[in-house]
Amino acid sequence: MGLHAYHALIILLAVGYALGLLRLRRGFFRLTYPASSTWPSVSVVVSFHNERENVVPCLERIIGQDYPRDRLEIIAVNDRSTDGTGEILEALAEKWSGLRVLHISTLREDVAPKKRAIGEAIRKARGEIILLTDADGRPGDQWVRGMVENFSRETGMVLGYAPYITRPPYHGWLHGMLALEYFSHAAVAAATTGLGFPVTCVGTNLAYRREVFLQLGGFGRYQHIHTGDDDLFLQRVREETSWQIRYATHPKTFVWNAPPTSFTAFYHQRLRYASKGFYYPIKVTLPLALYYLFNLLLFLGIPLALLNGQSVWALTLALGAKGLGEGYFLHTAARVFRNGSIMRFFLPAFLLHIPYVVYFGFLGQFQKYRWGGRRR
């Protein structure tokens, strides 16, 4: 690529990116909250695979929900655990009448393990609303009530925020930057939902009608993929049904979870997140590809600027457009989520974000990751 072509392309992408963020920001102001006053039956589904340390802390938070007891059931799935998780679950079920335990002892080649666990639980659930979280999720006592309030008659799915814990022992700058990066995904999810085209969500905090899951026949063509029980299912709801999708931004709906506790855990988690790019529809993959190209040109522009001073102005302009656009967008998102303090991590995260996107965006499409004790 010639120098003039590089200048033209990076400036074009920078302007397009900044304008795109301004457009995306408008989605925050279009979010709607129906505030339902009815209390439908709810089934909370949690899958546990060798999670003995998380069983009690997770389920205690769910058992203690401020929601009518006769309208709430909890389904805990023991998915092939070998560490005593199943025994702990059975002991808790004897004490807590609202807890049901399902055991899965085998693998199926045609269905990813977590999707099989969730699917079997949903098909046996009694609740009208399915509410999902993970073993490391820590919701507040208003979580079920808050998520359910976002359902109207036309609503089929409600997306929620699952922030990283930033209090001790996760209170350093590294954990803060991870929390901001994770928050940026929630910001995009909320803004695109407001614009009527939600693109992502997290299974740590997700709700949908059981009717929607059965209508779509479960995870369908994505059931064999070891990830995507959340955002790939969202693509199906958005593309294949007429149900409305909403995003819950009130703090009482948040489900807190711990950031990765080691570099290895972080590395494989980010590979897993990036691995789904080719499974999205073209209207999602094309913007993602352009976003990757923009960051790649910025990354390559640094040595180019050092070798050729003429490239400095284009790189500076592009970095400025990226920083101002992202800062303005995330500042608005932080107000919407009532979490302004997270922006103090913006500058160091911004400096590291470009190589992060380039590295994981590329390797995530090709390199295997480790999840649930196995390489995928």
Greater pLDDT, 304 or 45 = 45
State the CATH number of the domain containing residue 97: 3.90.550.10
Classify 56 as helix, strand or coil.
helix
Ranking 165-169, 242-246, 361-365 by mean pLDDT, the lowest is 361-365
- Residue 77 belongs to what H/E stretch? strand 72-79
Domain boundary residue among 265, 293, 320? 265
Averaged pLDDT, 96-124: 95
Q: Are residues 97 and 234 in the same domain?
A: yes
Give the span between the Cα atoms of 315 and 302, in whole angstroms: 8
Tens-digit pLDDT profile for residues 18-28: 999 999 999 99
121 pLDDT exceeds 90?
yes
Pair 76, 104: CB distance under 8 Å: no
- Residue 47 belongs to what H/E stretch? strand 42-48
Residue (of 138, 328, 286, 322) closest to 199 by Cα position: 286
Q: Concatenated DSSP letters for 186-244?
A: HHHHHHHHHTT------TTSEEEEHHHHHHTTTTGGGTTSSS-TTHHHHHHHHHH---E
Give residue 348's pLDDT band: very low, low, confident or very high (50, 70, 90): very high
375 pLDDT exceeds 60?
no
Q: Are residues 241 and 296 in the same domain?
A: no
Q: Are residues 235 and 320 in the same domain?
A: no
Q: Are residues 250 and 297 in the same domain?
A: no
Q: Which amino acid is at 42?
A: V
Give residue 67's pLDDT band: very low, low, confident or very high (50, 70, 90): very high
Averaged pLDDT, 28-54: 92
Give the span between the Cα atoms of 149 and 36, in whole angstroms: 5
308 pLDDT exceeds 70?
no
pLDDT of residue 207: 98
Is 75 a member of any domain? yes
pLDDT of residue 311: 67
The tally of domains found in the chain comes to 2
Is 148 a member of any domain? yes
Q: Concatenated DSSP letters for 106-145?
A: --BTTB-HHHHHHHHHHHH---SEEEEEETT-EE-TTHHH
Instruction: Provide φ and ψ at 100, rounded to 5°.
Output: -115, 140
Q: Are residues 235 and 292 in the same domain?
A: no
Classify 159 as helix, strand or coil.
strand
The Cα-based distances of 214 to 52, 120, 208, 369 in angstroms read 31, 11, 11, 30
Q: Look up residue 87 and give its two tokens.
A: 């025994």
Q: Are residues 149 and 231 in the same domain?
A: yes
Indicate the DSSP class of residue 365.
T
Is 226 a member of any domain? yes
Q: Look up residue 277 and give its two tokens.
A: 């790019």
In our burial notation (b when 16+ CB lie closer than 10 A, e otherwise), range 294-325 reads bbbbbebbeebbeeeeebeebbeebbebbbeb
Percentage, residues of the chain above pLDDT 90: 74
Q: Are residues 98 and 189 in the same domain?
A: yes
Give the span between the Cα atoms of 108 and 268, in whole angstroms: 23
Q: Are residues 48 and 140 in the same domain?
A: yes
Is 357 a member of any domain? yes
Pair 79, 117: CB distance under 8 Å: yes
260 pLDDT exceeds 70?
yes
141 pLDDT exceeds 70?
yes
Domain boundary residue among 207, 239, 265? 265
Q: Look up residue 210 and give its two tokens.
A: 């059981």
Give the span between the Cα atoms of 167 and 96, in whole angstroms: 30
162 pLDDT exceeds 90?
yes
Is 91 a member of any domain? yes
pLDDT of residue 7: 78
Q: Are residues 112 and 234 in the same domain?
A: yes
2 pLDDT exceeds 70?
no
**What is the average pLDDT score of the chain?**
91
pLDDT of residue 376: 54
Q: Considering the entire predicted model, what is its pTM?
A: 0.93
pLDDT of residue 373: 56
Torsion sign (Cα): 100, 105, 109, 114? positive
Is 271 a member of any domain? no
Pair 147, 249: CB distance under 8 Å: no
Q: What is the CA radius of gyration of the chain?
A: 21
**Cis, peptide link before residue 169, omega less than 30° from 0:** yes
Is 276 a member of any domain? no
Q: Give the range of the structural domain holding residue 154, as residue numbers without chain letter.
A: 32-265
Angle, in degrees to the nearest 10, between helices 3-25 and 173-194: 70
Q: Are residues 239 and 325 in the same domain?
A: no
Give residue 374's pLDDT band: very low, low, confident or very high (50, 70, 90): low
**SS3 of 317-347:** HHHHHHHHHHHHHHHHHHHHCCCHHHHHHHH
220 pLDDT exceeds 80?
yes
Averaged pLDDT, 186-199: 97
Q: Are residues 123 and 227 in the same domain?
A: yes
Give residue 8's pLDDT band: very low, low, confident or very high (50, 70, 90): confident
pLDDT of residue 329: 98
Q: What is the largest CA-CA distance in the chain?
A: 72
Percentage, residues of the chain above pLDDT 70: 95
Instruction: Provide φ and ψ at 276, rounded to 5°.
Output: -95, 0
pLDDT of residue 94: 94
Q: Look up residue 271 and give its two tokens.
A: 């590979």
Indicate the DSSP class of residue 171.
-
Pair 17, 294: CB distance under 8 Å: yes
Q: Are residues 96 and 198 in the same domain?
A: yes
Is 231 a member of any domain? yes
Instruction: Provide φ and ψ at 79, rounded to 5°.
Output: -95, 90
Residue (of 74, 23, 27, 375) closest to 200 by Cα position: 27
Domain boundary residue among 213, 238, 265? 265
